[in-house]
A and B are shown apart, each in its own frame.
Chain A
């Protein structure tokens, strides 16, 4: 009797474990490149950690596609100094704990020579100290928080930084939209959003505008009526929402329902097809700053857009372009580096001058950020982001 009871109670537990194990199988990170399996010279292994699943998955996936395209083109053209390049993509599920584990494993178990990642600054800030500690160069394609590259001499980026991005939106709001009163609604859980809040409010006040309210939300919130109500009290001309696309769409709908009709302004975190899918037409007539517009008519951009369309069937966004640029910049540095040792490679990346990428010409500054990268402002028209203007970073900091 006793035995039967034990078996009975164990059955469901075993069943659940079995199903759970199966569920785990499906989540293994994307496979390795085919290049490694072919004979010939040993491939150069680069690690990439991205949020391929999770709340900001479209960031990770488009970046991955950009990097993969760069690798494919490079290997087709003979690789780096005769050796093929292999990129190991690892998923961090958009979680900081996971980023730490994944990066550590890429360095110690897979022995990668360099790291490419992440999009979200919070994730890059988790990975950077690890890369720095092990002396592995890391290039973040699109983390815009200034603190990322301040971690140490191994950490680089290929995008502009938030103080400049905040400036661009403030400049656009003040000059082009003639806004004099602005409110800010930011995500208190994201280093990225907090940094942009400070940059925007600082510049907007310096230009002569007034900030009527600064309100916070947390990633994953769904009701914003309290914050929007407080914002409405100040009657701002624009509302700056430097958040991620996951929440911005809902915020826009609720703002419109509460009768807030002014333009909403945003940052590169808005960049996702999901944005207007969630918002519907609530975001029409709103603007955001970005790294790149597919309408750009430089030859590099045209070639990239064509190749990307052929490979994936969609028009590349800014994150794909930045992933592509980051990978190519790394390959370029590899050909110039004395060896693929962390120190030599980092030195070669730091010496990058006039690298012509899709998102602009990159010259690494002493702070390991690209110098003077310009920004584009996009307007959402009928659910489609369209190019409005290009803004240069400020002369004074």
Chain B
């Protein structure tokens, strides 16, 4: 029982990351109908920025005692910078291709992805060595409560609250605000939306900004949870991006609630399969479920009932 719950908690931790990253894929697909392959790299940038800010403030290393606000500060900087980066990629690489065939945009996305990955290896950016990301929260690993023999740490609670909070905020934004209405309008039919006075370019820009900021939050959670930041990107970030993309498709691409559900589902599947069946097949489960969903329910688990696409 203890072990079952332990695995469940590990799945939730991973699911928070997949879910947040999947949101970006799904939002962009909803609005522009294309897969932003550079989204996984934004996650990498987000995670590494957390480390760079922490290092610049001397919050890393054995002797560091980061102040209480350290985590919030780092998260804010990382989210802001990634939002800017996301907006820039859209403005420079995708917007000029808005009326071009979809394949061109897809190729541009791969180009942006390769650009970010390789530029990241520059010495004055992230370099090429793995780095240890310290926990920025004081006493992060102390158990807050022990539930069924499983230590739920301060870090777990903070991360869970952050992920759920961001997801709820996004849900409110999309379904309850004028901006959300505009996004859904553009997703439904961008030409018609433009005719009714929706500033399409600005709405698309906002979509990238929000999606990238969420990706940065995913990167922040990854960095504080797993401590180890890898470089170059193909070491771990590309697989993370791919799995989040699968989560978006499994949940129903274009559907934001689906992305969250898909992320959690995928992470739980990975953890339980790895724990009780075979860990060697971990990545196989993820991609097998993708094939299964595409065969049985191509619209994704949550794809059928919701008509709004954002």
Query: What is A's interface to B at a CB cutoff of 8 Å?
Result: 8-9, 11-13, 15-16, 19-20, 23, 26-27, 53-55, 57-58, 93, 188, 215-217, 219-223, 225-227, 229-230, 233, 246-247, 249-250, 253, 257-258, 274, 277-280, 383
B93 on interface, CB distance cutoff 8 Å: yes
Partner of A57, one of B129, B141, B279: B129
Q: A9-B97, A12-B93, A226-B275 are in contact. List 12 more A-B contacts (CB 8 A).
A: A26-B123, A55-B128, A93-B128, A215-B279, A223-B13, A225-B271, A233-B3, A253-B227, A274-B132, A278-B131, A278-B228, A280-B132
Q: In the complex, what distance in Å separates the CA atom of A233 from the CA atom of B275?
A: 11
Interface size class of B (residues with CB under 8 A): 35 or more
Smallest CB separation, B19 vs chain A (Å): 15
Inter-chain contacts of B131 with A (CB < 8 A) = 278
Q: Give per-residue flags for B248-279: 1 if the beta carbon is below 8 A from chain A beta carbons, else 0.
A: 00000000000000000000000100110001
Smallest CB separation, A188 vs chain B (Å): 7
Partner of B141, one of A13, A222, A249, A257: A257
B235 on interface, CB distance cutoff 8 Å: yes
Q: Top 4 A-B pairs ranked by shortest CB distance?
A: A226-B274, A53-B128, A278-B132, A9-B96
Task: Give B132's nearest chain A residue, CB to CB.
Answer: A278
Q: Is the CB of B96 within 8 A of A58?
A: no
22 contacts between A and B (CB under 8 A): A12-B92, A13-B111, A15-B92, A19-B119, A23-B122, A27-B122, A53-B128, A55-B128, A55-B231, A55-B232, A220-B235, A220-B239, A222-B226, A222-B236, A223-B14, A225-B6, A225-B271, A226-B274, A229-B275, A249-B227, A257-B151, A257-B153
Inter-chain contacts of B232 with A (CB < 8 A) = 53-55, 93
With contact pairs A16-B111, A57-B128 given, residues A216 and B280 touching in the complex (Cβ less than 8 Å): yes
Inter-chain contacts of A217 with B (CB < 8 A) = 279
B7 on interface, CB distance cutoff 8 Å: yes
B10 on interface, CB distance cutoff 8 Å: yes
Q: Give per-residue flags for B215-259: 1 if the beta carbon is below 8 A from chain A beta carbons, else 0.
A: 000000010001110111011100100000000000000000000
Q: Is the CB of B128 within 8 A of A11?
A: no
With contact pairs A53-B128, A222-B226, A278-B130 given, residues A26 and B122 touching in the complex (Cβ less than 8 Å): yes
Q: Is the CB of A8 within 8 A of B96?
A: yes
Inter-chain contacts of A223 with B (CB < 8 A) = 10, 13-14, 226, 271
Smallest CB separation, B171 vs chain A (Å): 27
Inter-chain contacts of A221 with B (CB < 8 A) = 236
Inter-chain contacts of A246 with B (CB < 8 A) = 130, 228, 230, 235
Task: Give A9's nearest chain B residue, CB to CB.
Answer: B96
With contact pairs A9-B100, A220-B235 given, residues A54 and B128 touching in the complex (Cβ less than 8 Å): yes
For residues 93 through 151 of chain B, which have their beta carbon under 8 Å from a beta carbon of chain A? 93, 96-97, 100, 108, 111-112, 115, 118-119, 121-123, 128-132, 141, 151
Smallest CB separation, A22 vs chain B (Å): 9
B282 on interface, CB distance cutoff 8 Å: yes
Q: Is the CB of B271 within 8 A of A226?
A: yes
B62 on interface, CB distance cutoff 8 Å: yes
Q: In the complex, what distance in Å separates the CA atom of A274 from the CA atom of B130?
A: 8
Smallest CB separation, A90 vs chain B (Å): 15
Task: Give B111's nearest chain A residue, CB to CB.
Answer: A16
Inter-chain contacts of A13 with B (CB < 8 A) = 93, 108, 111
Q: In the complex, what distance in Å separates the CA atom of A215 from the CA atom of B227?
A: 22
Q: Is the CB of B62 within 8 A of A280?
A: yes
Task: Give A55's nearest chain B residue, CB to CB.
Answer: B235
Task: Give B271's nearest chain A residue, CB to CB.
Answer: A226
Inter-chain contacts of A216 with B (CB < 8 A) = 279-280
Inter-chain contacts of A215 with B (CB < 8 A) = 279
Q: Is the CB of B129 within 8 A of A58?
A: yes
Q: Is the CB of A220 within 8 A of B236?
A: yes
Smallest CB separation, A363 vs chain B (Å): 36
Q: In the complex, what distance in Å separates the CA atom of A215 from the CA atom of B282?
A: 12
Inter-chain contacts of B122 with A (CB < 8 A) = 23, 26-27
Q: Is the CB of B6 within 8 A of A229?
A: yes
Q: Is the CB of A55 within 8 A of B130?
A: yes
Q: In the complex, what distance in Å separates the CA atom of A20 from the CA atom of B117?
A: 11
Q: In the complex, what distance in Å separates the CA atom of A371 from the CA atom of B97?
A: 64
Q: Is the CB of B230 within 8 A of A277?
A: no
Smallest CB separation, B73 vs chain A (Å): 22
Q: Is the CB of A16 within 8 A of B118?
A: no
Q: In the complex, what distance in Å separates the CA atom of A201 from the CA atom of B231?
A: 32
Q: In the complex, what distance in Å separates the CA atom of A27 from the CA atom of B10?
A: 39
Task: Give B153's nearest chain A residue, CB to CB.
Answer: A257
Q: Is the CB of A227 within 8 A of B279?
A: yes
Partner of A222, one of B62, B228, B274, B275: B228
Smallest CB separation, A307 vs chain B (Å): 25
Q: In the complex, what distance in Å separates the CA atom of A319 from the CA atom of B231?
A: 21
Partner of A230, one of B151, B226, B275: B275
Inter-chain contacts of A258 with B (CB < 8 A) = 6
With contact pairs A11-B96, A15-B92 given, residues A277 and B123 touching in the complex (Cβ less than 8 Å): no
Inter-chain contacts of B129 with A (CB < 8 A) = 55, 57-58, 274
Smallest CB separation, B227 vs chain A (Å): 6
Smallest CB separation, B144 vs chain A (Å): 14
Smallest CB separation, B21 vs chain A (Å): 14
Q: Is the CB of A19 within 8 A of B7?
A: no
Q: In the complex, what distance in Å separates the CA atom of A333 from the CA atom of B121?
A: 38
Q: Is the CB of A226 within 8 A of B228?
A: no
Q: In the complex, what distance in Å separates the CA atom of A26 from the CA atom of B280?
A: 38
Inter-chain contacts of B275 with A (CB < 8 A) = 225-226, 229-230
Smallest CB separation, A13 vs chain B (Å): 8
Q: In the complex, what distance in Å separates the CA atom of A25 from the CA atom of B235?
A: 23
Q: In the complex, what distance in Å separates the CA atom of A217 from the CA atom of B239?
A: 14
Q: Is the CB of A226 within 8 A of B226?
A: no
Q: Is the CB of B132 within 8 A of A16?
A: no
Q: In the complex, what distance in Å separates the CA atom of A208 from the CA atom of B7?
A: 33
Q: Is the CB of A23 within 8 A of B128?
A: no
Inter-chain contacts of B3 with A (CB < 8 A) = 229, 233
Q: In the complex, what distance in Å separates the CA atom of A233 from the CA atom of B236?
A: 28
